[in-house]
Amino acid sequence: MKKYDELYVANKQVWTDGPGRILEKIPPVIKKGKVLDLGCGDGKNSFYLESQGYDVTGVDISTAAIDRIKLRFKKNGVEPKGNYYTQDIMEMKPGDYDILVSYGIYHDLHKGRLEKHKDIQKNCKVLAFCSFIEGIPLSEKVEWELPTKNEILELIKGWNIKYISESVIPGVLYPDLFHNTIWVLATK
């Protein structure tokens, strides 16, 4: 994915220092286990999860993002213990993970994403999820495909919703753009 590669190459760190806002809701629900960080980017969530003792695997389509994860750990004086590699989510098979973190990635996926995401999450016990959703018209600057809230509810059909929240937030990449966003923590 050229666009993201360029972004990660041009910046030592793209995303925030701290983890996404629902990550701290994971430890009270499940204290340890294997996590898949889907579309992990430069590792803001993976770094937090490793610091909490989880066994983390992170995948991202951008090789530059995977390189940047090492920088994030180094900046914090530690080496990554987890397994981080380049992978297109749309070509993944379900693994043996306890927790799926899918953060800011779903709106980046296109045709077939609902079935693929459901397949990847099917062996997991906990899902920590965040996506932009429909509500505010998209800028021409982005190639996202915003899901409806119903698509997200379909994604977590049969799961127990521990937490769900929706609000409008400014973008990190484009602070002048606002995004309708949904956060979900769900268990099986």
Ligand X SMILES: C[S@@+](CC[C@H](N)C(=O)[O-])C[C@H]1O[C@@H](n2cnc3c(N)ncnc32)[C@H](O)[C@@H]1O
User: Binder to ligand X among 69, 84, 108, 147 (CB under 6 A)?
Assistant: 108
Q: What is the DSSP string of 50-111?
A: HHTT-EEEEEES-HHHHHHHHHHHHHTT----SEEEE--GGG------SEEEEES-GGG--T
User: Binder to ligand X among 29, 30, 71, 90 (CB under 6 A)?
Assistant: 90
User: Binder to ligand X among 22, 23, 26, 41 (CB under 6 A)?
Assistant: 41
Closest CB to ligand X among residues 40, 99: 40
**SS3 of residue 39 by DSSP:** coil
- Binding segment for ligand X (CB under 6 A), chosen from 56-64, 67-75, 131-139, 180-188, is 56-64
User: Binder to ligand X among 22, 66, 89, 99 (CB under 6 A)?
Assistant: 89
Q: Is 40 in the site for ligand X (CB under 6 A)?
A: yes
Cα distance between residue 79 and residue 176, in whole Å? 35
Nearest-approach distance from CB 76 to ligand X, in angstroms? 15
Binding residues among 9-38 for ligand X as defined by CB under 6 A: 15, 20
Cα distance between residue 51 and residue 53, in whole Å? 5
Q: Is 182 in the site for ligand X (CB under 6 A)?
A: no
Q: How many CA atoms lie within 13 A of 158 on its CB side?
A: 6
Nearest-approach distance from CB 154 to ligand X, in angstroms? 20
